[in-house]
Amino acid sequence: MGVVAVEITLFGDFGLKLATGQDIDLPGQKDRALLAFLALSPGTNHTRDKLANLLWCDRGDQQARDSLKHALTRVRHGLQASAASPIVADRRTVKL
């Protein structure tokens, strides 16, 4: 699997684009927040529980975990244009 550069703009308006300049659409606010949080500490494993509680603290544990699962799917789908998702996840942890 090759490495594809993705540029994430976190100051001002959120932006996501490939090194080629192609914009990647990631419309969900929580999806963007998830990607931004992971991007601020690349290579660091974060537990799914931590991420779910951080972004969906107003929901029950199971609903928060389900929301995280769906957000990860949407972020991966949005990054499909890069040909290789930079997100690495297993049953317990997620990292960028």
Residue 1 lies in a domain: no
Length of the chain: 96
CATH of the domain at 90: 1.10.10.10
Give 8-47 pLDDT, tens digit per residue.
898 888 998 887 888 888 889 999 999 999 999 999 999 9
Query: What is this structure's pTM?
Result: 0.87
Secondary structure of the chain: what % helix, strand, coil (to 5)?
45, 15, 40
Q: What does the alpha-carbon distance between residue 59 and residue 7 come to, in Å, rounded to a whole number?
A: 31
Give 40-89 pLDDT, tens digit per residue.
999 999 999 999 999 999 999 999 999 999 999 999 888 876 666 788 99
- Domain of residue 70: give its range: 6-95
Q: What is the pLDDT of residue 2?
A: 54
Residue 84 lies in a domain: yes
Residue 31 lies in a domain: yes
- Do 51 and 94 touch, CB atoms closer than 8 A? yes
Half-sphere exposure of 30 (CA within 13 A, CB side): 16
Half-sphere exposure of 48 (CA within 13 A, CB side): 19
- Number of domains the chain contains: 1
Quote the radius of gyration of the chain (alpha carbons, Å). Answer: 13
Residue 23 lies in a domain: yes
**pLDDT band of 1, cuts 50, 70, 90:** very low
